């Protein structure tokens, strides 16, 4: 699954890089890589919350 999402080898023909870049994220449409848009809104919401939690946990080590 990881290879298929990165390489774009699934039926959708898109890789994860088409939807998630250093400057933007489109979790809703990224869902189409694996299972179409089935429950894309629920999954996108969970992904946004997960990302927010990860970002909030970053530690500023510039003072070290």
Q: State the pTM of this model.
A: 0.79
CA 21 to CA 25: how far, in whole Å? 6
For residues 16 and 3, is the Cβ–Cβ distance under 8 A?
no
What is the predicted pLDDT for the residue at 63?
A: 63
- What are the structural domain ranges in the chain? 2-56
What does residue 47 show for φ and ψ, rounded to 5 degrees? Answer: -65, -40
Of the chain, the percentage scoring pLDDT greater than 90 comes to 62
The tens digit of pLDDT for each residue in 18-36 reads 999 999 999 999 999 988 8
For residue range 39-56, what is the model confidence (pLDDT) as tens digits? 999 999 999 999 999 988
* Predicted pLDDT at 19: 95
């Amino acid at each position: 699954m990881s290879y298929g999402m990165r390489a774009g080898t699934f039926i959708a023909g898109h890789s994860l890089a088409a939807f998630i870049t250093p400057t933007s994220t489109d979790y809703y449409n990224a869902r189409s890589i694996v299972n179409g848009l089935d429950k894309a809104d629920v999954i996108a919401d969970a992904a946004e919350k997960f990302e927010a939690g990860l970002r909030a946990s970053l530690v500023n080590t510039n003072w070290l």
